[in-house]
Amino acid sequence: MKQKLYLYTRFERLWHWTQAFLIIFLLLTGFEIHGSLEIFGYEKAYLWHVYAGMALVILTAFAIFWHLTTGAWRHYWPVKEKIPQICYYYLVGIFRGEPHPFEKRPDQKLNPLQRLAYLFLKLVLFPLQFVTAFLLLSYQWWPALGISASFRKVAYYHTAGAFAFLFFLIIHVYLATTGKPWYSHLRGMILGWEEVELR
C-alpha cells in the first residue's frame, strides 16, 4: 500500500537544485581550466568557476543555518540499523525487484547508507573543496600567511575532490531513477510530495 507524504520543503528543494546546478557548473568550468573541455574559454571558465564557488559557499552557509535552526541535521545522524540489508538490496535485491528494506518517512528521509554518504559529503568533501579553493586563490599571500604547502599538491587535492563529487553525482543520479515508477524520487524532489510504500 502506498501513501503520499510531504517529504521535502521548499527550501530543501531550492537548496538541492541550486546546489546541483552549481556543482555541475563547477565541474564543467573546472575541467575546462584543466584543459579537458572547451566551452567558455579559459579566462571566462576561471572567472565563472570562482564566482560559482563563492555562490556555493554562500548557499552552504544558508543551508547550515537552516539545518541547525530547524533540526533537519538529525536526518544525517548515523544509525546502524539495516545497513547489511540495505547493502544487499543495492547489490542484489534491486535487480531482483525486491522491496527496499527502508521505509521513508518525514522524520527519517534518508536510509542509513544515505546518511553516511551525505555526512561524508558535508564533513569531508565540501570542506576539502572550500579549503583547497581558498588556498589556491590566496597563493600570492602564502608567504605572508606562513603557508609552505606545495601549490601542485593543493591543486591535486582540489582536483581529487572534484572527481569524488563527479562520482557521487553519477551514483546519485542513478539511484534517483530506482524508484517505482523510475521518476518517483525525482518528482518528490521537484514537488515535495512522494509516494512511499507502507509496511
Between CA 189 and CA 186 the distance in angstroms is 5
Residue 5: enclosing H or E segment and its boundaries? strand 2-6
Between CA 185 and CA 179 the distance in angstroms is 6
* CATH code of 65's domain: 1.20.950.20
pLDDT-derived band at 199 (thresholds 50, 70, 90) equals low
Any alpha helices (H) in 71-150, and if so which ranges? Answer: 83-91, 112-120, 126-137, 142-145
Q: Which residues contact 36 (CB under 8 A, 6 or more apart)?
A: none
Q: Given the DSSP bridges, would you call strands 193-197 and 2-6 parallel, antiparallel or unpaired?
A: antiparallel
Type of residue numbered 43: E
pLDDT at residue number 107 = 87
Tell me if 15 sits within 8 A of 63, measured CB to CB: yes
In tens, the pLDDT along 79-134 reads 988 899 999 999 999 999 898 899 888 888 999 999 999 999 999 999 999 999 99
Q: Which whole number is the average pLDDT over 163-172?
A: 96
pLDDT-derived band at 17 (thresholds 50, 70, 90) equals very high
Residue 63 scores a pLDDT above 80:
yes
Total domains present in the chain: 1
Torsion of CA 146, 148, 150, 154, to 10 degrees: -40
Q: Look up the pTM and report it.
A: 0.91
Supply the range of the domain harboring residue 46: 2-197
